[in-house]
Amino acid sequence: MSETLIGLVSNYSPSGQERGAVEWLVARMKALGYDDALIDGAGNAVGVMGSGPRQVVLLGHIDTVPGEIPVRVERDNISLYGRGSVDAKGPLACFTDTVAQVGAVEGWQFVVIGAVEEERDSDGARFIVDKYRPDFLIVGEPNRWDRVALGYKGSAWAEITVKREQTHTASGEQTAAEAAVEAWLAVKAFAEAFNADKTRAFDKILPTLRGMESGQDGFEQWARLKVGVRLPVEMNPGQWYLEMEKTLQVLETCKVSVERVGYPVPAWSCEKNSQLVRAMLSGIRSQGGTPSFVYKTGTADLNIVAPIWQCPAVVYGPGDSALDHTPNEHISLDEYAKAVDALAAVLRKLVTPSA
């Protein structure tokens, strides 16, 4: 059962360099008996089982963060080490093996997608949003085999630039760099006020200062902050940018601008009382697990596709997310096998709900 997992992890594929792993996975899907396996227009690996009108999409990602880790099995053949073994080739391999185990089911189509660029701008997920309209969506991220994730926070990036006329160093007037520090403290104060009555991290605004620089040209001083934020469902990125601009109006001695950077992503929370969630709980219990729910502070491809597809959705996959992106990234092969069997039970229950 671990051949798919080991083979996929062995094909190192940081964002932007996924092609070799994609080609390997497509060949693996064909060898496992998928009805079709291909590379789509974005470079995603896509495997299709069945041809029915109803559809389950199992969306994982095949790219990883940089940093190659020697692939090896240790601790009496129970742990696989390698970049992506947890985030997120473990879940993607689980999807691949599960659909091969279940096989084609009349009236249904299973689509497994290994999306590219999830660790950057989710180009693979953005490409597929108008290609499919599934009845059910399962997104692959590591949350342990016996847990189901129901929500991921949103994110937004910005550069805050503060400028003012040059002054003498002995003037005692606030410098652009000092004003930039004040700007960051104002952003933090707004977040703290918003979070005051929130108990869950999922419901809080979590800003981070990711970089800062300053300079001058003889006539003008400037300072620039790179600010990221994890956002709750209650605050979409557009609202966040407006609140930042309003908050920074307190800096009266300087010119302040907020530049939006990259792709802002709204948070998403899945419906808890759905046929899919009930099937997930049943599938985990069928393998002796005690299922639980989790809401994550990161962002996933769930945030890209779920708002458009508007179908029952969950996030599932083996692996300890605390090992994401770390030099010690590894996954338990026993946990992987349990996840495959649990997910197979989920799919069978979805396609035969009266059983």
- Residue 71 makes CB contacts below 8 A (sequence gap 6+) with 6, 9, 10, 80, 81, 82
- Residue 216 makes CB contacts below 8 A (sequence gap 6+) with 166, 176, 222
Amino acid letter, residue 241: Y
The residue among 235, 214, 238 whose CA lies nearest residue 226 is 214
Asked whether 256 and 244 are in contact (CB, 8 A), the reply is: no
| β partners of residue 160 | 225, 258
Amino acid letter, residue 210: R
- Residue 319 makes CB contacts below 8 A (sequence gap 6+) with 85, 86, 87, 88, 90, 91, 142, 143, 144, 331, 335
Active site residue 76: no
- Residue 96 makes CB contacts below 8 A (sequence gap 6+) with 4, 8, 25, 28, 29, 32, 47, 112
Active site residue 63: yes
Angle at 95 between CA 56 and CA 327, to 5 degrees: 140
Catalytic member of 18, 87, 118, 203: 118
Give the alpha-carbon dihedral of 269, 273, 276, 277, to 10 degrees.
80
Q: Spell out where the chain has E strands.
A: 36-39, 45-49, 54-61, 72-74, 79-81, 108-115, 136-140, 144-152, 154-165, 206-216, 220-231, 255-265, 268-269, 292-296, 313-317, 330-332
Tokens of 20: 């070799």
* 188-203 burial: b if 16+ Cβ within 10 Å, else e: bebbeebeeeeeeebb
Strand pairing class (72-74; 206-216) = unpaired
Q: Residue 35 phi/psi, 5° resolution?
A: -65, -30
Residues with a catalytic annotation lie at: 63, 118
